[in-house]
């Protein structure tokens, strides 16, 4: 049992270290302007290949990580969790993931104050990191983690794959729509993974304390 827990902690620590390294590297490169050529190339590539049907699909996917949808899902799940004492730490972790995560994103955007790829989107605020990518990883990642724990092995894999594809699709939608640079989305994923790990750790520690 101790070996299993140690292995899980090692894997988690390695994941956190990798996500942190990726975010720090991206932040440094973006601040120095080193990603601009690549980001611009990716941006122009997709803007030159816009399709009305794909654009509509990407717009729908993007909505799933918008502030009001994420807030509605979070509040609904928190309410359900709060009704069951055994899941109250899940409710606290989800609240921290949503509300606290928004604060983290706003702080990071204010720190880097990177302009959007298109002036037409300037009213949406700063671009780095992508708040949609951050929210998709933290909220949908957290819900998928909990769902996988209650399923058998084949279904756990299905839930994990479906969640991964959904989260990646949301990030891609932001690039396709021209709202974010590719590095914004990558940084949103990296910082979101760090926040997700912290929130899940809070939930696990709370549950373990409850059982003691």
**Virtual torsion, Cα 197, 199, 200, 205, nearest 10 deg:** 120
What's this model's pTM, rounded to 2 decimal places? 0.90
Tokens 């990407």 -> residue: 58
Greater pLDDT, 153 or 129? 129
**pLDDT confidence of residue 85:** 76
Q: Lowest-pLDDT range, 2-6, 7-11, 19-23, 149-153?
A: 2-6
Q: What is the pLDDT of residues 156-183, one digit of tens each?
A: 788 889 999 999 999 999 999 999 999 9
CA–CA dist 136, 165 (Å, integer): 11
Residue 39 and residue 183 in contact, taking contact as beta carbons nearer than 8 Å: yes
């Amino acid at each position: 049992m101790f070996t299993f827990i140690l292995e899980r902690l090692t894997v988690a620590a390695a994941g956190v270290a990798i996500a942190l390294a990726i975010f720090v590297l991206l932040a440094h490169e973006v601040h120095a302007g080193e990603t601009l050529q690549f980001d611009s190339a990716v941006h122009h590539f997709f803007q030159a290949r816009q399709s009305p049907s794909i654009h509509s699909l990407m717009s729908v996917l993007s909505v799933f990580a918008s502030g009001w949808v994420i807030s509605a899902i979070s509040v609904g799940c928190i309410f359900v969790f709060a009704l069951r004492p055994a899941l109250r730490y899940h409710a606290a972790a989800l609240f921290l993931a949503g509300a606290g995560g928004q604060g983290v994103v706003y702080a990071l955007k204010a720190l880097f104050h990177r302009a959007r790829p298109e002036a037409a989107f300037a009213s949406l605020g700063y671009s780095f990191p992508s708040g949609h990518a951050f929210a998709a990883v933290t909220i949908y990642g957290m819900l998928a983690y909990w769902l996988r724990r209650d399923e058998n092995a084949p279904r756990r894999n299905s839930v994990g794959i479906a969640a991964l594809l959904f989260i990646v699709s949301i990030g891609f939608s932001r690039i396709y729509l021209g709202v974010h640079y590719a590095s914004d989305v990558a940084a949103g994923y990296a910082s979101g993974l760090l926040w997700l790990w912290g929130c899940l750790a809070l939930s696990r520690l709370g549950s373990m304390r409850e059982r003691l």
